Amino acid sequence: MYKFRRAAVVASMVGPMMVAATSCSAGSSGESTVEAKASATMSAIETTEADGVSVAVAEAAPGLTIEIAANAYTAPPDTYSDGRRGVTYHVDNEAASYTVIVEYYESGGKTASEVLESELGAFELQGASAGVTQSDVSVEGSEEAYRLDWTQSAEVPWSAEDDTEIDVQCSGVIFDGQDGYSYAVYVYAEVFDEASLAAVADVIDSIQVSQP
């Protein structure tokens, strides 16, 4: 069972709107548990080949696209009490294994700066602020964007069967979109898996914002 516990309480890991991926996450409020068997193959806008790997352009949220492995599968979308919506993608294959969580607020929800403040507050509450690095980042189509990076221990986020605890490199990109939307894209990969780390870096680089 995947446990996506976003922020606000908890345990076994530290991280962003993060207590996410099997516990890899920190940030806002609310908790959602999704059975792995409920997952489904991701739908894509288009698919291309890159270095022998099939890559899909996915509309991860209204007005937001990312590029991710075409064989990614998704958990059912989540809706939280504060109006936040989200979807999780898991990639688990020989070439690279990783998890991507995309969350967003519609117009009238929170701005990117407000989401960032919530996330940093969650890290502080868990006593993990010292391990979080904040940096500037550019997102195509967004005028305001922030990035958080941290490492934490967690059960393998992208596998429903493997409960081994590993060190996970986590990154969150939080940014404003158009028409009052705001988004957060969180990526998780094993610390020493260079291919997976490169794959999630490509996911971050691929983020594009347009009209919702």
pLDDT digits (tens, 9 = 90+) for 134-161: 998 999 999 999 999 999 999 999 988 8
44-92, pLDDT tens digit by residue?
A: 555 566 555 678 888 899 999 999 998 898 888 899 999 999 999 999 9
Output the pLDDT for position 46.
59
Q: What CATH number has the domain spanning 38-209?
A: 3.40.1000.10
Asked if pLDDT for residue 192 goes beyond 60, the answer is yes
Q: What is the pLDDT of residues 12-52, one digit of tens each?
A: 233 344 443 334 554 444 443 333 333 455 555 555 665 55
Tell if the pTM clears 0.85, that is, is over it: no
Contact 26, 123 (CB under 8 A): yes
- Per-residue confidence band for 100, with pLDDT thresholds at 50, 70 and 90: very high
Tokens 């899909």 found at: 56
Residue 12 backbone zone (phi > 0: left; psi -120 to 50: alpha; other: beta): left
pLDDT for the residue 52: 58
Q: Tell me how far apart the alpha carbons of residues 153 and 169 are, in angstroms, rounded to a whole number.
A: 9
Cite the beta strand spans of 83-206 per DSSP E. Answer: 85-92, 97-105, 133-136, 145-155, 165-176, 182-190
Contact 123, 132 (CB under 8 A): yes
What value does the mean pLDDT of the chain take? 81
